[in-house]
């Protein structure tokens, strides 16, 4: 029988990295709002280049963040570029790859170098790295609105701390506020209010859990089933005998009714995610056993996702938007940690300009939009491939085909590692070749 822990502690204790009581400065060079992966990546990149950076967040660190916690190769590469990979690997659970489960019970293993680390620990590592390279950090500071001059250029932010509101002036402000749209709307940059997807995640402590083969879980497990389409469920092994168990649902930004998504019995405009989570655990024997025999740590938590570089204007004079606020999560896979860090580093590169010499507003905005444009084709491919989540029976075909062809499995592994073009798998033409050749 699953029980619930009174003290949700999904990872080993970590040292606090909070700066809640320092004074707010009146002016800085670059103000970064939000200290998640995107904000920290931008802060680290700018501080290492010698720029004055103030990184603010409304929460103290370490703090929890609802996420799948999987670190795929693009995340590991970004962490290496930011100088924190070794520290993360020391804390993370290494995994041998991805195992896909089809609705009819088929499975396909895709080898890759991956890892899992709860965001409470990962984000704290990045936050401490930003401090170590010279970024100034302040917590318990909530963004209220942008400050603009007579020409409507953003020249800082109005923030609140301890019920007091004040202004921080900045040459540039970076908005890295994640999937919630409050800050985007305050800046007039939100073009899509509803999230692209929603997800539920639970931490389950079950150190003695083994699979049917008698071995502990050593892969990321992802499952598809018609009962929770269009989406997928997952089981990821975390450190210390803890598992991240979750399920996601795509299409919240669309106008179609949930009943037309295949969610039988879900009639409301906002599908019941708790029902969705139960459908995953009921239809997946591994998830059912894991939850039944384990101890639930804290509550099952939900979070929105913003995907495909859609939903926000990327830039305006004095302001850049980065990370999941910009929609940096991949559709289909829901992977967003790596791309959040990547867009954060791109925003920093845009501010640094050619040869780290900086540029005027027009040059910085143009540079940022050009850098983001290099990511758009891949995001578009994953958006197109996301249709497979509405037709889980296609997963059965892909699993059967992959199990007959080691060469195709190797191709999938290279796509996961971003060493091969996903169009060869994730477009209709590529998928047809995959299933028929």
CA 287, 391, 374 angle in degrees (round to 5)? 95
Residue with the bigger pLDDT between 17 and 299: it is 299
Q: CA–CA separation, 133 vs 155, rounded Å?
A: 25
The pLDDT of residue 279: 92
Least confident of 187-201, 258-272, 317-331, 375-389: 258-272
* CB-based burial label for 133 (10 Å; 0-12, 13-18, 19+): middle
Residue with the bigger pLDDT between 429 and 93: it is 93
Instruction: Note the Cα 7 to chain centre separation in Å.
Output: 25
Least confident of 116-120, 124-128, 255-259: 255-259
Structure tokens at 198: 């929603």
Residue range 149-171: average pLDDT?
A: 95
State what percent of residues in the chain have pLDDT above 70: 86
Torsion, CA 421, CA 385, CA 374, CA 318, rounded to 10: -160
Q: Assign 56 a pLDDT band (cuts: 50, 70, 90).
A: very high
Residue range 210-235: average pLDDT?
A: 88
Q: Chain-wide mean pLDDT for the chain?
A: 86
Q: CA–CA separation, 237 vs 244, rounded Å?
A: 6
Q: CA–CA separation, 326 vs 322, rounded Å?
A: 5
The pLDDT of residue 177: 97
The pLDDT of residue 426: 61
Q: Assign 49 a pLDDT band (cuts: 50, 70, 90).
A: very high
- Whether residue 145 is predicted with pLDDT greater than 90 in this model: the reply is yes
The pLDDT of residue 3: 40
How many helices and strands (H and E) does the chain possess?
Answer: 14, 17
- Whether residue 93 is predicted with pLDDT greater than 60 in this model: the reply is yes
Three-state DSSP class for residue 248: strand
- Whether residue 325 is predicted with pLDDT greater than 90 in this model: the reply is yes
Residue range 77-98: average pLDDT?
A: 97
Q: Assign 13 a pLDDT band (cuts: 50, 70, 90).
A: very low
**From residue 365, how far is each of 35, 172, 249, 317, 360 by CA, in Å?**
22, 11, 34, 7, 9
What is the DSSP code string of 130-146?
HHHTT-EEE-S-EEEEE
Sign, CA dihedral 31-36-37-40, equals positive
User: Which domains, ranges and CATH numbers included, belong to the chain?
Assistant: 3-8+91-117+194-305 (3.30.9.100), 27-67+120-193+308-380 (3.50.50.60), 393-436 (no CATH)
Least confident of 61-75, 232-246, 395-409: 395-409
The pLDDT of residue 7: 39
Residue with the bigger pLDDT between 193 and 58: it is 58
- Whether residue 2 is predicted with pLDDT greater than 60 in this model: the reply is no
DSSP H or E run through 108:
strand 107-116
- Whether residue 20 is predicted with pLDDT greater than 90 in this model: the reply is no
Residue with the bigger pLDDT between 400 and 368: it is 368
Q: CA–CA separation, 173 vs 315, rounded Å?
A: 10
Q: Assign 6 a pLDDT band (cuts: 50, 70, 90).
A: very low
- Whether residue 431 is predicted with pLDDT greater than 90 in this model: the reply is no
What is the DSSP code string of 152-193?
--EEEEEEEETTEEEEEEEEEEEE--TT--HHHHHHT-BS--
CA 53, 58, 61 angle in degrees (round to 5)? 80
Give the side-chain half-sphere CA count within 13 A for 405: 18
CA 69, 17, 147 angle in degrees (round to 5)? 90
Residue range 386-398: average pLDDT?
A: 78
Q: What is the pLDDT of residues 166-220, one digit of tens each?
A: 999 999 999 999 999 999 999 999 999 888 889 999 999 999 998 877 788 999 9
- Whether residue 245 is predicted with pLDDT greater than 80 in this model: the reply is yes
- Whether residue 252 is predicted with pLDDT greater than 80 in this model: the reply is no
Find all residues with CB under 8 Å of 417, minimum gap 6, and list them: 73, 112, 113
Find all residues with CB under 8 Å of 377, minimum gap 6, and list them: none
The pLDDT of residue 71: 96
The pLDDT of residue 417: 81
**Are 266 and 272 in contact, with CB atoms under 8 Å apart?**
yes
Q: Assign 423 a pLDDT band (cuts: 50, 70, 90).
A: low
Q: What is the pLDDT of residues 267-321, one digit of tens each?
A: 444 557 788 899 999 999 999 999 999 999 999 999 999 999 999 999 999 999 9
Q: Assign 434 a pLDDT band (cuts: 50, 70, 90).
A: low
The pLDDT of residue 436: 58
């Amino acid at each position: 029988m699953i029980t619930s822990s009174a003290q949700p502690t999904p990872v080993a204790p970590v040292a606090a990295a909070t700066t809640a009581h320092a004074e707010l400065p009146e002016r800085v060079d670059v103000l970064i709002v939000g200290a998640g992966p995107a904000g920290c990546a931008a802060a680290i990149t700018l501080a290492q280049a010698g720029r004055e950076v103030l990184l603010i967040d409304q929460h103290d660190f370490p703090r929890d963040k609802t996420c799948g916690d999987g670190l795929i190769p693009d995340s590991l590469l970004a962490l290496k570029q930011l100088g924190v990979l070794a520290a993360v690997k020391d804390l993370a659970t290494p995994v041998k790859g991805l195992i896909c489960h089809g609705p009819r019970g088929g499975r396909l293993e895709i080898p890759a170098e991956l890892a899992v680390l709860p965001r409470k620990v990962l984000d704290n590592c990045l936050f401490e790295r930003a401090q170590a390279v010279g970024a100034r950090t302040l917590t318990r500071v909530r963004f209220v609105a942008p400050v603009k001059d007579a020409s409507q250029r953003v020249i800082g932010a109005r923030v609140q701390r301890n019920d007091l509101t004040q202004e921080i002036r900045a040459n540039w402000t970076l908005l890295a506020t994640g999937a919630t749209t409050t800050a985007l709307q305050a800046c007039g940059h939100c073009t899509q209010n509803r999230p692209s997807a929603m997800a539920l995640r639970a931490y389950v402590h079950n150190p003695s859990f083994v699979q049917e083969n008698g071995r502990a879980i050593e892969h990321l497990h992802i499952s598809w089933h018609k009962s929770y389409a269009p989406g997928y469920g997952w089981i990821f092994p975390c450190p210390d005998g803890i598992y991240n168990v979750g399920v996601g649902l795509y299409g919240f930004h669309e106008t179609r009714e949930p009943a037309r998504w295949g969610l039988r019995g879900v009639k409301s405009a906002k599908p019941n995610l708790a029902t969705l989570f139960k459908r995953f655990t009921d239809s997946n024997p591994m998830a059912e056993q894991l939850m039944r025999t384990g101890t639930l740590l804290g509550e099952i938590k939900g979070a929105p996702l913003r995907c495909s570089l859609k939903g926000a204007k990327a830039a305006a004079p004095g302001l850049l938007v980065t990370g999941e606020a910009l929609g940096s999560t991949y559709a289909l896979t829901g992977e967003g940690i790596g791309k959040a860090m990547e867009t954060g580093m791109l925003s920093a590169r845009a501010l640094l300009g050619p040869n780290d010499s900086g540029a005027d507003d027009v040059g910085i905005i143009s540079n940022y939009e050009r850098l983001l444009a290099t990511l758009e084709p891949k995001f578009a491919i994953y958006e197109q491939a996301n249709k497979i989540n509405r037709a889980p029976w296609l997963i059965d075909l892909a699993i059967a085909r992959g199990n007959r062809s080691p060469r195709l499995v190797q191709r999938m592994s290279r796509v996961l590692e971003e060493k091969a073009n996903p169009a060869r798998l994730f477009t209709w033409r590529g998928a047809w070749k995959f299933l028929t050749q």
